[in-house]
Structure 1
Protein backbone atom coordinates (compact mmCIF):
# COMPACT_ATOMS: atom_id res chain seq x y z
CA UNK A 1 0.00 0.00 0.00
CA UNK A 2 1.38 3.39 -1.01
CA UNK A 3 1.80 6.40 1.29
CA UNK A 4 -1.05 8.10 -0.57
CA UNK A 5 -3.30 5.10 0.14
CA UNK A 6 -2.32 5.20 3.82
CA UNK A 7 -3.20 8.90 3.99
CA UNK A 8 -6.55 8.27 2.35
CA UNK A 9 -7.33 5.47 4.83
CA UNK A 10 -6.44 7.69 7.79
CA UNK A 11 -8.63 10.50 6.46
CA UNK A 12 -11.53 8.09 5.95
CA UNK A 13 -11.20 6.68 9.48
CA UNK A 14 -10.96 10.22 10.88
CA UNK A 15 -14.15 11.18 9.10
CA UNK A 16 -15.95 8.14 10.56
CA UNK A 17 -14.74 8.98 14.07
CA UNK A 18 -15.95 12.55 13.55
CA UNK A 19 -19.41 11.29 12.55
CA UNK A 20 -19.59 8.96 15.55
CA UNK A 21 -18.60 11.82 17.87
CA UNK A 22 -21.34 13.96 16.40
CA UNK A 23 -23.92 11.22 16.95
CA UNK A 24 -22.80 10.57 20.54
CA UNK A 25 -22.54 14.20 21.62
CA UNK A 26 -25.42 15.57 19.56
CA UNK A 27 -23.04 17.89 17.74
CA UNK A 28 -21.62 19.44 20.92
CA UNK A 29 -17.98 19.11 19.91
CA UNK A 30 -16.67 21.47 22.57
CA UNK A 31 -18.59 20.02 25.48
CA UNK A 32 -16.34 18.91 28.33
CA UNK A 33 -16.75 15.14 28.32
CA UNK A 34 -15.80 14.88 32.01
CA UNK A 35 -18.28 17.48 33.26
CA UNK A 36 -21.78 17.64 31.84
CA UNK A 37 -23.38 19.57 34.68
CA UNK A 38 -26.17 18.47 37.03
CA UNK A 39 -29.80 19.35 37.58
CA UNK A 40 -31.64 19.03 40.88
CA UNK A 41 -34.61 20.46 42.77
CA UNK A 42 -34.12 22.65 45.82
CA UNK A 43 -37.19 22.03 47.97
CA UNK A 44 -38.36 24.88 50.18
CA UNK A 45 -36.81 27.79 48.24
CA UNK A 46 -37.86 29.74 45.15
CA UNK A 47 -34.31 30.36 43.93
CA UNK A 48 -31.30 28.07 43.66
CA UNK A 49 -28.50 28.50 46.22
CA UNK A 50 -25.88 27.88 43.51
CA UNK A 51 -25.78 27.79 39.74
CA UNK A 52 -28.68 28.72 37.49
CA UNK A 53 -32.36 28.80 38.46
CA UNK A 54 -34.16 27.13 35.56
CA UNK A 55 -37.59 27.93 36.98
CA UNK A 56 -39.33 28.64 40.28
CA UNK A 57 -42.49 26.97 41.43
CA UNK A 58 -44.46 25.13 44.09
CA UNK A 59 -44.56 21.50 45.15
CA UNK A 60 -47.30 19.31 43.73
CA UNK A 61 -48.17 15.90 45.18
CA UNK A 62 -50.91 13.56 46.26
CA UNK A 63 -53.69 14.45 48.71
CA UNK A 64 -52.90 13.11 52.18
CA UNK A 65 -55.97 10.84 52.31
CA UNK A 66 -55.89 9.48 48.74
CA UNK A 67 -54.50 5.98 48.22
CA UNK A 68 -54.38 6.38 44.43
CA UNK A 69 -52.29 8.91 42.51
CA UNK A 70 -48.58 9.58 42.46
CA UNK A 71 -46.31 8.51 45.30
CA UNK A 72 -43.76 11.26 44.74
CA UNK A 73 -43.73 15.04 44.59
CA UNK A 74 -42.79 17.33 41.71
CA UNK A 75 -41.78 20.97 41.38
CA UNK A 76 -44.52 22.64 39.32
CA UNK A 77 -43.49 25.88 37.58
CA UNK A 78 -45.29 29.04 38.64
CA UNK A 79 -46.59 29.55 35.10
CA UNK A 80 -47.76 26.35 33.33
CA UNK A 81 -48.29 25.82 29.62
CA UNK A 82 -50.64 23.32 27.99
CA UNK A 83 -50.66 21.15 24.89
CA UNK A 84 -53.86 19.60 23.56
CA UNK A 85 -56.55 19.17 26.21
CA UNK A 86 -60.20 18.30 26.85
CA UNK A 87 -62.11 20.96 28.78
CA UNK A 88 -63.97 19.91 31.88
CA UNK A 89 -63.25 17.96 35.06
CA UNK A 90 -62.35 14.42 33.96
CA UNK A 91 -62.14 11.30 36.11
CA UNK A 92 -58.34 11.36 36.24
CA UNK A 93 -55.49 11.61 38.71
CA UNK A 94 -55.28 14.85 40.67
CA UNK A 95 -52.36 17.04 41.65
CA UNK A 96 -52.52 18.84 45.01
CA UNK A 97 -50.44 21.63 46.45
CA UNK A 98 -48.15 21.14 49.44
CA UNK A 99 -48.13 22.99 52.75
CA UNK A 100 -45.73 22.95 55.66
CA UNK A 101 -46.95 21.11 58.75
CA UNK A 102 -44.50 22.59 61.26
CA UNK A 103 -46.55 23.96 64.17
CA UNK A 104 -44.89 21.57 66.63
CA UNK A 105 -41.37 22.84 65.90
CA UNK A 106 -40.57 26.17 67.55
CA UNK A 107 -37.74 27.03 65.15
CA UNK A 108 -39.88 26.27 62.08
CA UNK A 109 -43.37 27.31 63.21
CA UNK A 110 -43.15 30.53 61.15
CA UNK A 111 -43.69 28.41 58.04
CA UNK A 112 -46.69 26.39 59.25
CA UNK A 113 -49.56 26.31 56.77
CA UNK A 114 -47.67 28.10 54.01
CA UNK A 115 -47.50 26.78 50.44
CA UNK A 116 -44.11 25.11 49.85
CA UNK A 117 -41.88 26.74 47.25
CA UNK A 118 -39.28 24.98 45.08
CA UNK A 119 -36.88 25.65 42.21
CA UNK A 120 -35.18 23.64 39.47
CA UNK A 121 -31.42 24.19 39.45
CA UNK A 122 -28.54 23.66 37.03
CA UNK A 123 -24.89 23.56 38.10
CA UNK A 124 -22.44 23.29 35.20
CA UNK A 125 -19.44 22.84 37.50
CA UNK A 126 -20.36 19.32 38.65
CA UNK A 127 -21.13 15.98 37.02
CA UNK A 128 -22.96 14.05 39.76
CA UNK A 129 -24.95 14.71 42.91
CA UNK A 130 -26.29 12.88 45.95
CA UNK A 131 -28.75 13.61 48.76
CA UNK A 132 -27.29 12.47 52.08
CA UNK A 133 -29.90 11.91 54.82
CA UNK A 134 -29.09 12.47 58.50
CA UNK A 135 -26.08 14.68 57.70
CA UNK A 136 -25.72 18.45 57.26
CA UNK A 137 -22.21 18.31 55.79
CA UNK A 138 -20.85 16.61 52.68
CA UNK A 139 -18.24 13.85 52.35
CA UNK A 140 -14.64 14.94 51.75
CA UNK A 141 -14.09 16.13 48.19
CA UNK A 142 -17.75 16.98 47.60
CA UNK A 143 -19.34 20.44 47.34
CA UNK A 144 -22.48 21.34 49.27
CA UNK A 145 -25.38 22.66 47.21
CA UNK A 146 -27.59 23.17 50.28
CA UNK A 147 -28.60 21.52 53.54
CA UNK A 148 -31.74 21.42 55.59
CA UNK A 149 -34.34 19.06 57.02
CA UNK A 150 -35.44 15.64 55.87
CA UNK A 151 -39.22 15.86 55.42
CA UNK A 152 -42.19 13.80 54.34
CA UNK A 153 -45.90 13.35 55.08
CA UNK A 154 -46.55 13.59 58.86
CA UNK A 155 -47.36 10.40 60.75
CA UNK A 156 -51.05 11.11 61.30
CA UNK A 157 -53.75 8.44 61.19
CA UNK A 158 -55.19 7.87 57.72
CA UNK A 159 -52.43 9.75 55.87
CA UNK A 160 -50.66 7.96 53.04
CA UNK A 161 -46.92 7.74 52.50
CA UNK A 162 -44.77 10.01 50.37
CA UNK A 163 -41.09 10.17 49.52
CA UNK A 164 -38.49 11.70 51.82
CA UNK A 165 -37.08 14.94 50.44
CA UNK A 166 -34.39 17.36 51.60
CA UNK A 167 -35.99 20.76 52.34
CA UNK A 168 -33.73 23.83 52.54
CA UNK A 169 -32.94 24.97 56.10
CA UNK A 170 -34.46 28.41 55.43
CA UNK A 171 -38.01 27.29 54.69
CA UNK A 172 -39.69 29.59 52.21
CA UNK A 173 -43.41 29.56 51.64
CA UNK A 174 -46.31 31.52 50.27
CA UNK A 175 -49.30 32.51 52.40
CA UNK A 176 -52.38 30.81 50.88
CA UNK A 177 -55.40 32.84 49.84
CA UNK A 178 -58.68 32.47 51.79
CA UNK A 179 -60.06 30.29 48.98
CA UNK A 180 -57.07 27.92 48.95
CA UNK A 181 -58.28 24.33 49.41
CA UNK A 182 -57.44 22.52 52.64
CA UNK A 183 -57.10 19.30 50.66
CA UNK A 184 -53.32 19.36 50.35
CA UNK A 185 -50.17 17.35 50.65
CA UNK A 186 -48.36 18.06 53.95
CA UNK A 187 -44.64 18.27 54.68
CA UNK A 188 -43.25 17.76 58.14
CA UNK A 189 -39.77 17.13 59.65
CA UNK A 190 -39.07 13.60 60.87
CA UNK A 191 -37.37 11.93 63.81
CA UNK A 192 -36.06 8.38 64.16
CA UNK A 193 -38.09 5.73 65.94
CA UNK A 194 -36.54 4.62 69.24
CA UNK A 195 -34.46 1.42 69.29
CA UNK A 196 -34.38 1.13 65.50
CA UNK A 197 -30.87 2.28 64.64
CA UNK A 198 -27.44 1.52 66.08
CA UNK A 199 -25.14 4.44 66.75
CA UNK A 200 -25.76 7.96 68.08
CA UNK A 201 -29.20 8.66 66.60
CA UNK A 202 -31.20 10.97 68.89
CA UNK A 203 -34.96 10.37 68.98
CA UNK A 204 -35.55 13.94 70.20
CA UNK A 205 -33.95 15.73 67.24
CA UNK A 206 -35.23 16.31 63.70
CA UNK A 207 -33.15 14.61 61.01
CA UNK A 208 -31.14 16.87 58.74
CA UNK A 209 -29.98 16.29 55.18
CA UNK A 210 -27.71 17.77 52.56
CA UNK A 211 -27.39 17.77 48.77
CA UNK A 212 -23.79 17.36 47.59
CA UNK A 213 -22.17 17.53 44.17
CA UNK A 214 -18.85 16.67 42.57
Structure 2
Protein backbone atom coordinates (compact mmCIF):
# COMPACT_ATOMS: atom_id res chain seq x y z
CA UNK A 1 0.00 0.00 0.00
CA UNK A 2 2.81 2.46 0.88
CA UNK A 3 4.48 1.70 -2.48
CA UNK A 4 1.31 2.54 -4.34
CA UNK A 5 0.84 5.81 -2.49
CA UNK A 6 4.43 6.74 -3.24
CA UNK A 7 3.82 5.97 -6.94
CA UNK A 8 0.73 8.17 -7.01
CA UNK A 9 2.56 11.02 -5.30
CA UNK A 10 5.44 10.73 -7.76
CA UNK A 11 3.03 10.80 -10.70
CA UNK A 12 1.33 13.85 -9.24
CA UNK A 13 4.62 15.68 -8.89
CA UNK A 14 5.73 14.80 -12.43
CA UNK A 15 2.41 15.93 -13.97
CA UNK A 16 2.04 19.07 -11.79
CA UNK A 17 -1.32 17.91 -10.53
CA UNK A 18 -3.24 20.31 -8.37
CA UNK A 19 -4.43 19.83 -4.81
CA UNK A 20 -8.03 19.77 -6.00
CA UNK A 21 -7.46 16.57 -8.05
CA UNK A 22 -8.80 14.41 -5.17
CA UNK A 23 -11.34 12.54 -7.27
CA UNK A 24 -8.73 11.64 -9.90
CA UNK A 25 -6.25 10.34 -7.25
CA UNK A 26 -9.00 8.31 -5.55
CA UNK A 27 -10.01 6.77 -8.86
CA UNK A 28 -6.36 5.94 -9.73
CA UNK A 29 -5.89 4.36 -6.32
CA UNK A 30 -8.96 2.15 -6.84
CA UNK A 31 -7.68 1.13 -10.22
CA UNK A 32 -4.33 0.12 -8.72
CA UNK A 33 -5.91 -1.82 -5.86
CA UNK A 34 -8.29 -3.65 -8.17
CA UNK A 35 -5.68 -4.42 -10.81
CA UNK A 36 -5.02 -8.21 -10.76
CA UNK A 37 -1.60 -7.78 -12.28
CA UNK A 38 -0.59 -5.35 -9.53
CA UNK A 39 -1.78 -7.72 -6.77
CA UNK A 40 -0.08 -10.69 -8.43
CA UNK A 41 3.23 -8.84 -8.68
CA UNK A 42 3.11 -7.93 -5.00
CA UNK A 43 2.28 -11.52 -4.01
CA UNK A 44 5.17 -12.76 -6.10
CA UNK A 45 7.47 -10.21 -4.44
CA UNK A 46 6.38 -11.41 -1.00
CA UNK A 47 7.00 -15.03 -2.00
CA UNK A 48 10.49 -14.16 -3.20
CA UNK A 49 11.17 -12.39 0.08
CA UNK A 50 9.92 -15.39 2.11
CA UNK A 51 12.10 -17.73 0.06
CA UNK A 52 15.09 -15.51 0.71
CA UNK A 53 14.35 -15.41 4.46
CA UNK A 54 13.98 -19.20 4.59
CA UNK A 55 17.32 -19.56 2.84
CA UNK A 56 18.95 -17.24 5.39
CA UNK A 57 17.42 -19.17 8.32
CA UNK A 58 18.63 -22.49 6.86
CA UNK A 59 22.11 -21.08 6.39
CA UNK A 60 22.21 -19.75 9.96
CA UNK A 61 20.98 -23.08 11.36
CA UNK A 62 23.74 -24.87 9.45
CA UNK A 63 26.30 -22.52 11.00
CA UNK A 64 24.85 -23.10 14.49
CA UNK A 65 24.99 -26.89 14.04
CA UNK A 66 28.59 -26.64 12.86
CA UNK A 67 29.51 -24.55 15.93
CA UNK A 68 27.78 -27.06 18.23
CA UNK A 69 29.69 -29.94 16.65
CA UNK A 70 32.95 -28.08 17.16
CA UNK A 71 32.09 -27.50 20.83
CA UNK A 72 31.32 -31.19 21.32
CA UNK A 73 34.65 -32.14 19.71
CA UNK A 74 36.49 -29.68 21.92
CA UNK A 75 34.65 -30.81 25.07
CA UNK A 76 34.08 -34.57 24.72
CA UNK A 77 34.23 -35.18 28.47
CA UNK A 78 30.52 -34.96 29.16
CA UNK A 79 28.50 -37.24 31.41
CA UNK A 80 29.24 -38.76 34.82
CA UNK A 81 31.40 -41.51 36.30
CA UNK A 82 30.61 -43.99 39.07
CA UNK A 83 31.82 -47.38 40.32
CA UNK A 84 29.64 -50.47 40.55
CA UNK A 85 30.88 -52.72 43.36
CA UNK A 86 30.55 -56.50 43.12
CA UNK A 87 30.12 -56.68 39.33
CA UNK A 88 32.58 -57.32 36.49
CA UNK A 89 30.80 -54.92 34.10
CA UNK A 90 28.51 -51.92 34.24
CA UNK A 91 24.70 -52.14 34.13
CA UNK A 92 23.37 -51.79 30.57
CA UNK A 93 20.98 -48.94 31.44
CA UNK A 94 20.63 -45.25 30.54
CA UNK A 95 23.38 -45.38 27.94
CA UNK A 96 26.00 -46.63 30.42
CA UNK A 97 29.34 -47.90 29.14
CA UNK A 98 32.17 -49.69 30.97
CA UNK A 99 35.35 -47.60 31.28
CA UNK A 100 37.33 -50.47 32.80
CA UNK A 101 36.85 -53.54 34.96
CA UNK A 102 38.88 -54.28 38.04
CA UNK A 103 39.11 -55.63 41.55
CA UNK A 104 38.11 -53.91 44.76
CA UNK A 105 40.90 -53.09 47.19
CA UNK A 106 41.93 -50.91 50.09
CA UNK A 107 43.60 -50.82 53.46
CA UNK A 108 44.00 -54.00 55.55
CA UNK A 109 41.11 -54.49 57.95
CA UNK A 110 43.10 -54.10 61.21
CA UNK A 111 45.66 -51.44 60.22
CA UNK A 112 44.91 -47.94 61.53
CA UNK A 113 47.30 -46.13 59.20
CA UNK A 114 46.87 -45.73 55.45
CA UNK A 115 43.79 -44.89 53.44
CA UNK A 116 40.15 -45.47 54.30
CA UNK A 117 38.48 -45.44 50.88
CA UNK A 118 37.84 -48.50 48.73
CA UNK A 119 39.41 -48.38 45.26
CA UNK A 120 38.66 -50.15 41.98
CA UNK A 121 42.11 -51.40 40.93
CA UNK A 122 42.83 -52.37 37.32
CA UNK A 123 43.78 -55.84 36.13
CA UNK A 124 46.87 -54.54 34.29
CA UNK A 125 48.78 -52.19 36.62
CA UNK A 126 51.66 -50.07 35.31
CA UNK A 127 54.99 -49.94 37.16
CA UNK A 128 56.20 -46.73 38.74
CA UNK A 129 59.35 -45.11 37.26
CA UNK A 130 62.52 -47.04 38.07
CA UNK A 131 63.93 -44.04 39.97
CA UNK A 132 60.81 -43.57 42.12
CA UNK A 133 61.85 -42.97 45.78
CA UNK A 134 60.99 -45.79 48.18
CA UNK A 135 60.55 -46.02 51.93
CA UNK A 136 59.28 -49.55 52.34
CA UNK A 137 59.44 -49.56 56.11
CA UNK A 138 56.69 -46.90 56.28
CA UNK A 139 54.86 -47.15 52.98
CA UNK A 140 51.09 -47.35 52.92
CA UNK A 141 49.75 -50.73 51.80
CA UNK A 142 46.82 -51.82 49.67
CA UNK A 143 45.09 -55.21 49.72
CA UNK A 144 42.41 -56.90 47.67
CA UNK A 145 38.86 -57.09 49.03
CA UNK A 146 37.03 -60.19 50.22
CA UNK A 147 33.41 -60.80 51.13
CA UNK A 148 32.90 -61.78 54.75
CA UNK A 149 29.41 -63.20 54.28
CA UNK A 150 27.48 -65.45 51.89
CA UNK A 151 24.81 -64.13 49.50
CA UNK A 152 23.41 -65.50 46.26
CA UNK A 153 26.30 -65.81 43.74
CA UNK A 154 29.25 -65.33 46.12
CA UNK A 155 30.51 -66.90 49.31
CA UNK A 156 32.62 -65.77 52.25
CA UNK A 157 36.29 -65.16 51.29
CA UNK A 158 35.49 -64.73 47.58
CA UNK A 159 37.33 -61.79 46.01
CA UNK A 160 35.30 -58.71 45.03
CA UNK A 161 35.13 -57.42 41.43
CA UNK A 162 34.26 -53.87 40.38
CA UNK A 163 33.79 -51.76 37.26
CA UNK A 164 34.06 -48.05 36.56
CA UNK A 165 31.11 -46.81 34.52
CA UNK A 166 30.38 -43.77 32.34
CA UNK A 167 26.88 -42.40 31.74
CA UNK A 168 27.11 -39.98 28.82
CA UNK A 169 23.60 -38.51 29.09
CA UNK A 170 23.85 -37.34 32.72
CA UNK A 171 25.42 -34.54 34.71
CA UNK A 172 25.15 -35.98 38.23
CA UNK A 173 25.54 -39.30 40.05
CA UNK A 174 24.24 -39.85 43.58
CA UNK A 175 24.41 -42.81 45.96
CA UNK A 176 21.49 -42.78 48.41
CA UNK A 177 21.78 -45.01 51.49
CA UNK A 178 18.71 -46.80 52.92
CA UNK A 179 16.78 -46.58 49.61
CA UNK A 180 16.21 -48.92 46.63
CA UNK A 181 14.53 -46.33 44.39
CA UNK A 182 15.57 -42.89 43.10
CA UNK A 183 13.81 -39.53 43.52
CA UNK A 184 11.44 -38.35 40.81
CA UNK A 185 13.32 -37.36 37.67
CA UNK A 186 16.38 -39.50 38.53
CA UNK A 187 17.28 -42.82 36.88
CA UNK A 188 18.37 -45.99 38.69
CA UNK A 189 21.84 -47.22 37.74
CA UNK A 190 21.75 -50.08 40.24
CA UNK A 191 20.68 -50.82 43.80
CA UNK A 192 21.93 -53.10 46.55
CA UNK A 193 23.09 -52.76 50.15
CA UNK A 194 25.85 -51.03 52.07
CA UNK A 195 29.06 -52.83 53.03
CA UNK A 196 32.09 -51.70 55.03
CA UNK A 197 34.55 -53.02 57.63
CA UNK A 198 33.36 -54.87 60.72
CA UNK A 199 32.35 -52.99 63.86
CA UNK A 200 35.31 -54.02 66.03
CA UNK A 201 37.40 -51.64 68.09
CA UNK A 202 40.65 -53.03 66.71
CA UNK A 203 39.55 -52.75 63.06
CA UNK A 204 40.26 -49.73 60.91
CA UNK A 205 37.47 -47.59 59.42
CA UNK A 206 36.47 -48.09 55.79
CA UNK A 207 34.14 -46.05 53.64
CA UNK A 208 30.57 -47.26 53.00
CA UNK A 209 30.16 -48.57 49.46
CA UNK A 210 27.03 -49.75 47.65
CA UNK A 211 27.36 -53.43 46.74
CA UNK A 212 25.28 -54.53 43.74
CA UNK A 213 22.21 -56.59 44.70
CA UNK A 214 23.34 -59.30 42.26
CA UNK A 215 27.04 -59.22 43.14
CA UNK A 216 29.42 -61.90 41.85
CA UNK A 217 32.90 -63.19 42.72
CA UNK A 218 36.04 -62.06 40.91
CA UNK A 219 37.43 -65.24 39.31
CA UNK A 220 37.11 -68.97 39.82
CA UNK A 221 40.73 -69.21 40.95
CA UNK A 222 40.26 -66.56 43.64
CA UNK A 223 37.38 -68.32 45.37
CA UNK A 224 37.35 -69.13 49.07
CA UNK A 225 40.97 -68.13 49.75
CA UNK A 226 40.88 -66.70 53.25
CA UNK A 227 43.53 -64.00 52.79
CA UNK A 228 41.55 -61.26 54.57
CA UNK A 229 43.08 -57.93 53.55
CA UNK A 230 40.35 -55.37 52.76
CA UNK A 231 37.31 -57.27 54.03
CA UNK A 232 33.68 -56.27 53.56
CA UNK A 233 30.74 -56.85 55.90
CA UNK A 234 27.08 -55.84 55.52
CA UNK A 235 25.95 -52.74 57.41
CA UNK A 236 23.16 -52.89 60.01
CA UNK A 237 21.16 -50.19 61.78
CA UNK A 238 21.57 -49.49 65.50
CA UNK A 239 18.67 -47.77 67.24
CA UNK A 240 19.40 -44.81 69.49
CA UNK A 241 20.57 -41.66 67.84
CA UNK A 242 19.29 -43.37 64.69
CA UNK A 243 15.50 -43.17 65.17
CA UNK A 244 13.48 -46.38 65.32
CA UNK A 245 11.02 -46.19 63.68
CA UNK A 246 11.42 -45.52 60.82
CA UNK A 247 14.56 -47.70 61.12
CA UNK A 248 14.59 -51.08 62.85
CA UNK A 249 17.25 -52.58 65.10
CA UNK A 250 19.73 -54.69 63.06
CA UNK A 251 18.00 -53.77 59.80
CA UNK A 252 20.34 -54.25 56.82
CA UNK A 253 20.86 -50.94 55.06
CA UNK A 254 20.02 -50.83 51.37
CA UNK A 255 21.37 -48.35 48.81
CA UNK A 256 20.75 -47.10 45.29
CA UNK A 257 22.94 -45.30 42.74
CA UNK A 258 21.01 -42.70 40.73
CA UNK A 259 21.82 -40.59 37.68
CA UNK A 260 20.35 -37.29 36.50
TM over 0.5: yes
Return the TM-score normalized by structure 2: 0.64
Deviation for aligned residue 1:203: 1.8
**Alpha carbons of 1:202 and 1:28: their partners in 2 closer, same or farther (altered >3 Å)?**
farther
**Alpha carbons of 1:205 and 1:94: their partners in 2 closer, same or farther (altered >3 Å)?**
same
Deviation for aligned residue 1:66: 0.8
**Alpha carbons of 1:181 and 1:212: their partners in 2 closer, same or farther (altered >3 Å)?**
same
Secondary structure, aligned partner of 2:71: coil
Distance 2:252 2:224 in 1: 32
* Candidates 196, 200, 209, aligned match of 2:246: 200
Deviation for aligned residue 1:31: 6.0
**Alpha carbons of 1:71 and 1:138: their partners in 2 closer, same or farther (altered >3 Å)?**
same
Secondary structure, aligned partner of 2:160: strand
Secondary structure, aligned partner of 1:29: helix
8 A contact 2:181–2:256 mirrored in 1: yes
Deviation for aligned residue 1:78: 1.1
Larger radius of gyration: 2
8 A contact 1:151–1:167 mirrored in 2: yes
Unaligned runs of 5+ in 2: 1-66
How many residues end up aligned between the 2 structures? 186
8 A contact 1:99–1:185 mirrored in 2: yes
Larger relative contact order (C-alpha < 8 A, sep ≥ 6)?
1
Deviation for aligned residue 1:156: 3.1
1:103-142 → structure 2 map (5 Å cutoff): 103=150, 107-108=151-152, 110-142=154-186
Deviation for aligned residue 1:178: 8.7
Distance 1:102 1:173 in 2: 12
Deviations, residues 31-56 of structure 1 (Å, cap 9, x unaligned): 698x9200111011110003111111
1:1-214 → structure 2 map (5 Å cutoff): 29-30=71-72, 36-50=78-92, 51-85=96-130, 90-91=136-137, 92-103=139-150, 107-108=151-152, 110-174=154-218, 175=220, 177=222, 182-198=227-243, 199-214=245-260
Q: Could you say what the CA RMSD is over the residues aligned between the two structures, in angstroms?
A: 3.0
Deviation for aligned residue 1:76: 0.2
Deviations, residues 147-176 of structure 1 (Å, cap 9, x unaligned): 001110011341111100111001111355
Distance 2:226 2:250 in 1: 33
**Alpha carbons of 1:42 and 1:126: their partners in 2 closer, same or farther (altered >3 Å)?**
same
Unaligned runs of 5+ in 1: 1-21
Q: State the 4+ residue runs in structure 1 displaced beyond 4 angstroms.
A: 86-89, 175-181
8 A contact 1:47–1:56 mirrored in 2: yes
